[in-house]
């Protein structure tokens, strides 16, 4: 018998509560993103899945809370906050920064003898052991930093052109970029859950060969799927991505349905 959803948490937003779900999908946002980016996902995913959008400190409804600047501290806090919601089978999805968080959280749960995700979906992020030789951008002077945001094509134009909004957004993005660009991978045993990797064919910063490296991080099945867009194919190719994700999640219904 499946347990019901326990309590509430500032760490989670439920776009559509689904007490009958047999699988929870914890979704981690990219740098500068928040839980709202997953608000429509339940419309496209299988009925047995409950979307649990993770809201990180320092953004969205938690804007007044200090953002984490180091991954280990964030992972420990997230594990503590999300553990009560891991009372039924679950999976992780993360894009870019979110993929890194989901991966390290899965490793932390294993080391702590806690429940493990049934599946890890990583999107728009090179394998953790791949050395990134590109220069850091989090500490660029503001004009160059804004130019980098234009190049990445992930910040809405209406935000980039709004001076007051940019004053709010830039510190968050700098913190998140630093968070990602100073990440240091520590070798460890591969995970036991399957890993599905999603990439963008026009994502120059995350080429296919750097995505292939995720194969080393699992003892189970590995799938790599490429989408037409750039780094933010999660938006430009959203329907295709969600259709693909839905097909993969439907396989879990045969086990947990």
The residues that are catalytic are 96
Strands 23-28 and 90-95: parallel
Kindly list the strands in the beta sheet with 195-200, ordered across the sheet, starting from the edge strand earlier in the chain: 12-13, 49-54, 23-28, 90-95, 120-123, 195-200, 222-227
- Within 10 angstroms of residue 41's Cβ, the number of other Cβ atoms is 21
The answer to whether residues 124 and 204 touch, using CB atoms and an 8 Å cutoff, is no
**Token output for 114:** 């806690």
Instruction: Please name the helix (run of DSSP H) or strand (run of DSSP E) that holds residue 96, with its range, or none.
Output: none
Q: How far is CA 44 from CA 34, 96, 190, 199, 230, in A?
A: 19, 21, 31, 20, 22
- Within 10 angstroms of residue 63's Cβ, the number of other Cβ atoms is 12
Phi/psi of residue 226, nearest 5 degrees = -110, 140
Burial of 164 (0-12, 13-18, 19+ CB in 10 A): exposed
């Amino acid at each position: 018998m499946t347990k019901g959803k326990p309590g509430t948490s500032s760490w989670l937003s439920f776009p559509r509560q689904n007490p009958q779900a047999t699988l929870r999908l914890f979704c981690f946002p990219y740098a500068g993103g928040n839980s709202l980016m997953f608000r429509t996902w339940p419309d496209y995913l299988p009925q047995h899945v409950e979307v649990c959008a993770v809201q990180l400190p320092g953004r969205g409804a938690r804007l007044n809370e200090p953002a984490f600047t180091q991954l280990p501290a964030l992972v420990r806090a997230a594990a503590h906050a999300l553990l009560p919601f891991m009372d039924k089978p679950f999976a992780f999805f993360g894009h870019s920064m979110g993929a890194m968080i989901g991966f390290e959280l899965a490793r932390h749960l294993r080391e702590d003898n806690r429940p493990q995700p049934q599946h890890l979906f990583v999107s728009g992020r090179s394998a953790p052991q791949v050395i990134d030789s590109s220069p850091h951008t989090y500490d660029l002077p503001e004009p160059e930093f804004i130019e980098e945001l234009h190049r990445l094509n992930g910040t809405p134009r209406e935000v980039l052109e709004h001076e007051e909004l940019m004053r709010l957004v830039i510190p968050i993005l700098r913190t998140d970029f630093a968070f990602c660009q100073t990440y240091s991978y520590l070798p460890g045993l591969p995970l036991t859950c399957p890993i599905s990797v999603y990439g963008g064919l026009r994502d120059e910063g995350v080429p296919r060969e750097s995505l292939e490296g995720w194969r080393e991080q699992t003892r189970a099945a590995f799938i790599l799927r490429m989408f037409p867009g750039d780094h933010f194919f999660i938006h430009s190719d959203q329907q295709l991505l969600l259709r693909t994700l839905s097909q993969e999640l439907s396989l879990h219904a045969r086990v947990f349905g």
